[in-house]
Amino acid sequence: MTTSHAAKTALGVLGPRNLELGPFTLGDTGQDAGAWQHWRMRTDEDGIVWLLFDRKDASTNTLSEETLAEMDAVLAKLEQDHPRGLVIRSAKRSGFIAGADIAQFRGVTETGPIEATLTRGHAVLDRLDRLPFPTVAVIHGYCLGGGLEVALACDRRIAIDDASFGFPEVLLGLHPGLDGTVRLTHRINPIQAMTMMLTGKTERARRAKSLGLVDAVTQERHVRNAVKAAVTGELKAAKPGWLVSLLNSSPARAILVPRMRRDASKKAPRKHYPAPHALIDLWMQHGGDADAMQKAEIPSFAKLLVTETAQNLVRVFFLRNTLKGLAGGRWNGGHIHVIGAGAMGGDIAAWCAWHGFTVSLADMKPEPLAGAIKRAAELYGKISHGDRRKVRDALDRLIPDLAGEGVASADLIIEAVPENLELKKKVYAGIEPKMKSGAILATNTSSIPLEQLRVGLARPERLVGVHFFNPVSRMQLVEIVSHDGVADDVLADARAFLGRIDRLPAPVKSAPGFLVNRALTPYLLEAMVMLDEGLKKETIDRAAEDFGMPMGPIELADQVGLDICLHVAEMRRGSLERPMPEPPQWLKDKVAKGELGRKTGKGLYDWKDGRAVKPSDAAVPPADTTDRLILPMLDVCVACLREGVVADEEIVDGAMIFATGFAPFRGGPLHYARARGMDDVRATLSRLATKYGPRFQPDPGWDNLK
């Protein structure tokens, strides 16, 4: 029924330039325009009604009570008219239907009104399902949540080859609520259906056809012929096979559900994320009885929606939209030059090339360049959905540049050399005279203040921080770091560039560690202190994971790189007033020996096949462990607000969620502080300061929060 921040890729897909709209043209108001604001209807020469969804004053189609009520009125009229057939499709170029209007979910506290709304929505789609003439959904772009539920209520589904299908509700702490749990599990293999709903994963058009989710995949120019074939019966519907009935049976569910529960618990503990478990319960109890499951779906959805988890995940959806909105505007640059083909620079270059930029990648040696191209090819193979042409074209745009010749023609130069001030300044001195006058010089520094990096530049106003996080292809957030001399158009262009590569900008002012690394440093260092105290690394990580972090601080330190952690920690200790523990000598020794974590195969953990080698169980953490790890992060966020490093709480919460994975179900660090109680957090910090030292002393900024 809904869309979410986890479906960002599908939301970026553009529909065909020329939509086949039957008797319509784009911009045509259609008949009965006065009666309906969001739907347009017209009958073609073959007696087939084309019903276009075109939500008023919106670039994207989403379902609301109003749009569903209008749809109901349209269907009532069609019941009387009894046309030869009905086609439902979107008039929006961006896609079919993105799901529900998520704004309706904010602040919901009572289940009764939600159940009533869902009951009315069920009745509308049941009416569509029961129409006494053929119904066809023609789908381009995204078809998510409630959009897929509308499509499933039609007799046939025709997908344009760019279409994407999914039920991302679980990422909002929900499951489908307009009969999707029933129609999907009774349409396709229920194991695959449950996997789609439990993961929120989207499926491309041809994969959807192989699953039996759609009946045909075609190109836009063949839509009319496909529609005629569907209405006449020439296009046969993909009928559920005997396996669907067998797997929905009670004995099969009894066998399948325990494993589903185990897998769900590993990825989403019930106490933090109840939605996957509610969905499994729903199928376990009613999977063999479609009517009973349909009725039970409504109170189950309503109960989930009023939970703190769902409300916080809805908040995260809007946090993402807020950050995405900061990437608005236009930047017409086409050539990116990246300096440094290491893990970060190479991956930044690969990501930019994938998104259509010509990218020259420079390094002093050929080996890092070769490694970067190899990693790029591996990445493209994973994200291309089997489209070899897209892989080929992206690799063609990624140009190894041993001589650094790309600087002269680049619109944006991204420096990604090691975290060494003098090295970075030396690079700038060599490239700035070669840059175009309007080019931007961006640094991927993770901690060095830009006031230090700009010294010696002829045009310091063209310098901006563009701080990516590792791994580049998965971390959505990028810090846009400003200094007091940067030009406004440079900041705007940097944010617009991130929009073009599907990344979320978080504007921060130059300061040691900026926001994210500054907040993570006490989290990581406190974990090192605990190791010194004798706590096992697995126990420390368990404390953070039990709180809801995607990984514990020990594993995170290895993931980031112990060398980078040590560098940031040492810089912070010398540049901030707050006392910080001295990084332990054994950590310095590990860095000196080259045991840097995941990238070297050994750090605090041993790493195998990209995963930390851990025992299956860990001891229960002692009291205070979680607060010692988590509350200093909150305190730093408050300090960054007080100092003006970040403009507002939404940017803080969004940045920490999308850059560090800070427990999304808690709504962000400052939202969590408010939910827990500001006074309680501050008092706990004071108690920890008395017990463990002044590093826990609460920041004065807590007094400024209302």
pLDDT per residue as tens digits for the range 570-616: 766 555 556 677 788 888 889 999 999 988 999 999 999 888 998 87
Neighbours of 654 (CB within 10 A): 28
CA–chain centroid gap for 354, Å, is 18
pTM, entire model: 0.91
Q: Backbone phi, then psi, for 658, in 5-degree steps?
A: -85, -10
d(CA 657, CA 654): 5
Q: Is residue 324 part of a domain?
A: no
Q: Looking at the structure, do residues 168 and 293 belong to the same domain, yes or no?
A: yes
Domain that holds residue 399: 335-502
Q: Looking at the structure, do residues 236 and 369 belong to the same domain, yes or no?
A: no
Q: Looking at the structure, do residues 38 and 169 belong to the same domain, yes or no?
A: yes
Report the number of distinct structural domains present in the chain.
3
Mind giving me the DSSP string for 160-217? ETT-EEE-GGGGGT----SSHHHHHHTTS-HHHHHHHHHH--EEEHHHHHHHTS-SEE
Q: Which regions of the chain are under pLDDT 70?
A: 1-17, 27, 29-34, 571-579
Q: Looking at the structure, do residues 606 and 526 belong to the same domain, yes or no?
A: yes
> 446: helix, coil or strand?
coil
| CB 100, CB 67: distance < 8 Å | no
Q: Looking at the structure, do residues 249 and 384 belong to the same domain, yes or no?
A: no
Q: Looking at the structure, do residues 596 and 700 belong to the same domain, yes or no?
A: yes
Q: Looking at the structure, do residues 51 and 190 belong to the same domain, yes or no?
A: yes
Q: Which residues are catalytic?
A: 467
Kind of pairing between the strands at 85-90 and 48-53: parallel
Question: Quick one: residue 467, left, alpha or beta (phi over 0 = left, psi -120 to 50 = alpha)?
Answer: beta
pLDDT for position 139: 98
Nearest to 225 by CA among 450, 22, 4, 454: 22
| CB 152, CB 180: distance < 8 Å | yes
Looking up residue 638, the CATH number of its domain turns out to be: 1.10.1040.50
pLDDT for position 564: 80
Tell me which of 476, 502, 528 is where a domain ends: 502
Tell me which of 447, 479, 502 is where a domain ends: 502
Is-cis flag, bond preceding 550, omega within 30? no
pLDDT for position 508: 97
Q: Looking at the structure, do residues 296 and 383 belong to the same domain, yes or no?
A: no
DSSP code for 454? T
d(CA 403, CA 365): 10
